[in-house]
């Protein structure tokens, strides 16, 4: 037994912190988790879950449009925003309750309040100091807004966007990353006039360039008003109406302005600098492959380390940490070939290398691509096309990347991600018989490289 009160104090009861804490406790460790909000963290309370619920609801308007082609007519449904937010919040309450039960049932003590690290083995919470052999930082990230006149004063972040009392009539979204394009789909789907303002020439930096172009076309076709290659110069106005001046001189008016300009690790005033924990310039905690910081007894997992900022990655890091240090099963989270989805409209999903990334390694990859109108759209009349791409190593035939924009892309790519993780070759894809008629079967029927 160590001389500390506890084996582990985790700061942050989000996806990563809860997983690490309860697995460690399951291995027999004495664990406490510190949380100033209710358990759940970004994903459950302010991110993935409420966002996806709003996405589900927003999709119905396009379904109603598509239904007309299938003989449904006189469809003019009204939407009750207040009901939606209330129902969504009820579901979040249920999930936060499940998180609380998971923690309690695992025998983990919850310390309510803000945790501050006061030494390599000590954490202060609500005026009381607790000691542990190890401290695990899992406090996540928080929306960041650039320093632009009027932006911080007038713009909301994704936190507030998930809980607006009224549906905006006209919304300006700033940025074109995951959050920006997902909320563009949400607000547009519920009928708001939606502007997307971004400094790049295409949205979704980092994704395959063809997907980015295809998405911009599809979003515009669905009614999102795109303002590429520009930025916000100034926001003025009052609670009801805002004026947004863009750097290209355009002036937009909107009742809601949303900044989706990235997230920063929440490391400020945690006491970490004082105990010598090394940080990146953006405030992310520097860690090694075992999630250990520069202070040997302090570890960090999830978005606060700014490795791959996705919930399942954070959970994998937390689980590996707990197994390694409390379960006598040393292992590391594997950050290779992690699939990620954008729940935009239409959705996008990617795993592995983009065509550009493959070229950057010096190879000339084989590229198999299909762009087609999904079967449903032949009757619905929707012009939107789906896009699928496979990036293949020309020497080994190994499939290096798979990319899709189109209905159900995240559901489809999850299966493809297993094949890629397992090292499947293009010949393995070719040997797989398709499921007909689906869009997914294109992934096993593309025969001719470009
Ligand atoms: P992203 O990093 O994805 O996008 C940030 C956007 O803000 C980019 O378009 C970027 O432009 C723009 N931006 C940043 N700084 C400025 C600036 N000073 N002026 C103008 N534009 C700026 O961040 P998000 O906030 O969308 O999401 C944060 C992270 O959360 C994601 O990276 C992802 O890891 C995670 N996430 C995952 C989701 C999922 O899995 N479905 C959903 C939501 C979030 P540019 O591209 O030109 O740099």
Q: By alpha-carbon position, which residue is closest to atom 35 of ligand 1?
A: 309
Q: Which atom of ligand 1 is nearest to the CA of 174?
A: 21
Please give the pLDDT value at position 49: 98
Q: Which of 50, 152, 177, 345 to mutate to test the pocket of ligand 1 (most atoms within 8 A of CB)?
A: 177
Atom of ligand 1 nearest to the CA of 205: 46
Give the helix ranges, DSSP H, for 70-199.
Answer: 81-105, 151-154, 158-161, 178-189
Protein residue with its CA nearest to atom 13 in ligand 1: 261
> What integer best gives the mean pLDDT of the chain?
97
Residue 174 Cα, ligand 1 centroid: separation in angstroms? 10
Q: Looking at residues 203-209, what average pLDDT do you find?
A: 96
Judge whether 36 and 125 are in contact, CB under 8 Å.
no
Specify whether the CB–CB gap between 5 and 306 falls below 8 A: no
Residue nearest to atom 47 of ligand 1 (CA): 200
Which residue's CA is the closest to the ligand 1 atom numbered 25? 262
Q: Residue 301 is encoded by which pair of tokens?
A: 């997992």
Please say if 166 is a catalytic residue. no
- Residue 192 CA: distances (Å) to CA of 134, 210, 260: 49, 28, 17
Position 74 confidence tier, pLDDT thresholds 50, 70, 90: confident
Per residue in 98-152, pLDDT tens?
999 999 999 999 999 999 999 999 999 999 999 999 999 999 999 999 999 999 9
Does residue 237 have a pLDDT over 60? yes
What is the full DSSP assignment across 318-383? HHHHHHHHHSS-------TT--EEE--SS-EEEEE--HHHHHHTT---EEEEEEE--HHHHHH---
CA distance 304 to 11: 11
Most informative mutation of 156, 199, 317 for ligand 1 (most atoms within 8 A of CB): 199
Distance (angstroms) between ligand 1 centre and the Cα of 45 equals: 19
| Banded pLDDT at 239 (limits 50, 70, 90) | confident
**Residues pairing with 199 in the sheet:** none
Which of 27, 319, 335, 436 does the annotation list as catalytic?
436
Nearest CA to ligand 1 atom 2: 262
pLDDT value, residue 1:
55
- Cα of 448 vs centre of ligand 1, distance in Å, is 35
pTM over 0.85: yes
**How far is it, in rounded angstroms, from Cα 283 to Cα 262?**
13
Give the separation between CA 396 and CA 428, rounded to whole angstroms: 12
Beta-carbon contacts of 132 under 8 Å, excluding residues fewer than 6 positions away, are 4, 5, 6, 7, 8, 9, 32, 121, 122, 123
What's the pLDDT score for residue 151? 98
In ligand 1, which atom is closest to the CA atom of 310? 34
Q: How many CB atoms lie within 10 A of CB 446?
A: 18
Contact indicator for 369, 389 with CB cutoff of 8 Å:
yes
Cα separation, 322 vs 28, whole angstroms: 11
- pLDDT at position 357: 97
Cα(158)–Cα(54) distance, rounded to whole angstroms? 12
pLDDT computed for residue 76 by the predictor:
87
Q: 277-287: per-residue pLDDT in tens?
A: 999 999 999 99
**Ligand 1 site-directed mutation target among 259, 262, 312, most atoms within 8 Å of CB:** 262
Between the CA of 260 and the centroid of ligand 1 the distance, in Å, is 6
Q: What's the full length of the chain, in residues?
A: 450
Q: Which residues contact 436 (CB under 8 A, 6 or more apart)?
A: none
Phi, psi (rounded to 5 degrees) for 426: -60, -35
CA of 214 to the centre of ligand 1 (A): 19
Q: How many angstroms does the Cα of residue 177 sit away from the middle of ligand 1?
A: 4
Residue list, ligand 1 pocket, CB within 6 Å: 146, 175-180, 182, 198-200, 205, 231, 260-263, 309-310, 340-343
pLDDT band at 296 (very low <50, low <70, confident <90, very high): very high
Q: How far is the CA of 284 from the centre of ligand 1 (A)?
A: 16
Average pLDDT over residues 204-222: 97
Q: Is 152 helix (H, G, I), strand (E, B) or coil?
A: helix
**What mean pLDDT do residues 37-55 have?**
97
Pick the atom of ligand 1 nearest to 340's CA: 40
Torsion angle of the four alpha carbons 84, 87, 93, 97, in this order, in degrees rounded to the nearest 10: -130
Instruction: Tell me the domains of the chain and their CATH numbers.
Output: 6-143+264-326 (3.50.50.60), 151-261 (3.50.50.60), 346-444 (3.30.390.30)
Confidence of residue 2 (pLDDT cuts 50, 70, 90): confident
Q: If pLDDT is split at 50, 70 and 90, which confidence band does 176 have?
A: very high
Paired tokens of 1:
């037994």
In angstroms, what is the span from residue 167 Cα to ligand 1's centroid? 23
Q: Distance between CA atoms of 380 and 69, rounded to whole angstroms?
A: 4
Strand partners, 351: 402
pLDDT confidence bin for 444, thresholds 50/70/90: very high
Model pLDDT for residues 366-408, shown as the tens digit of each residue = 999 999 999 999 999 999 999 999 999 999 999 999 999 999 9
Report the residue among 41, 141, 175, 349 best suited for mutation to probe ligand 1: largest number of ligand atoms under 8 A from its CB. 175
pLDDT (mean) for 424-448: 98
**Closest by Cα among 443, 441, 440 to 399:** 443
Q: For ligand 1, atom 46, which residue shows the shortest CA distance?
A: 205
């Amino acid at each position: 037994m160590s001389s500390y009160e506890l084996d582990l104090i985790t700061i942050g009861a989000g996806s990563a912190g809860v997983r690490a804490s309860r697995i460690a406790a399951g291995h027999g460790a004495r664990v406490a988790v510190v949380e100033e909000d209710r358990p759940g963290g970004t994903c459950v309370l302010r991110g993935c879950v409420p966002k996806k619920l709003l996405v589900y609801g927003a999709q119905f308007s396009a379904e109603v449009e598509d239904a007309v082609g299938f003989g449904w007519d006189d469809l003019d449904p009204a939407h009750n925003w207040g009901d939606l937010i209330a129902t969504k919040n009820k579901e979040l309450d249920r999930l936060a309750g499940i998180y609380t039960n998971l923690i309690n049932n695992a025998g983990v003590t919850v310390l309510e309040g803000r945790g501050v690290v006061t030494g390599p083995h000590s954490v202060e919470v609500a005026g009381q100091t607790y000691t542990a052999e190890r401290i695990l930082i899992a406090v996540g990230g928080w929306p960041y807004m650039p320093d632009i006149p009027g932006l911080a004063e007038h713009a909301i972040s994704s936190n507030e966007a998930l809980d607006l009392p009224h549906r905006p009539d006209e919304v300006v979204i700033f940025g074109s990353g995951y959050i920006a394009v997902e909320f563009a789909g949400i607000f547009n789907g519920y009928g708001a006039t939606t502007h997307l303002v971004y400094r790049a020439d295409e949205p979704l930096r980092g994704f395959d360039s063809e997907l980015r172009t295809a998405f911009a076309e599809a979003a515009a076709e669905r009614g999102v008003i795109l303002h590429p290659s520009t930025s916000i110069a100034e926001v003025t106005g009052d609670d009801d109406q805002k004026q947004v001046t863009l750097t290209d001189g355009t002036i937009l008016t909107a009742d809601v302005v949303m900044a989706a300009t990235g997230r920063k690790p929440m490391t400020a005033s945690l006491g970490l600098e004082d105990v010598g924990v090394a940080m990146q310039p953006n405030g992310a905690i520097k860690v090694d492959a075992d999630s250990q910081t520069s202070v040997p007894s302090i570890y960090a997992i999830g978005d606060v380390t700014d490795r791959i900022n996705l919930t399942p990655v954070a959970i994998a890091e937390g689980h590996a940490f707990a197994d390694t240090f409390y379960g006598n099963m040393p292992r590391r989270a594997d950050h290779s070939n992690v699939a990620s989805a954008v729940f935009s409209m239409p959705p996008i999903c990617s795993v592995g290398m983009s065509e550009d990334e493959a070229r950057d390694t010096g190879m000339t990859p084989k590229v198999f691509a299909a762009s087609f109108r999904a079967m449903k759209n032949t009757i619905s009349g929707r012009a939107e096309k789906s896009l699928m791409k496979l990036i293949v190593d020309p020497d080994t035939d190994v499939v290096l990347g798979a990319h899709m924009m189109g209905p159900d892309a995240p559901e489809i790519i999850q299966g493809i991600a297993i094949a890629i993780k397992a090292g499947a070759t293009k010949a393995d894809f070719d040997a797989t018989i398709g499921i007909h008629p689906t869009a997914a079967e294109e992934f096993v029927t593309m025969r001719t490289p470009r």
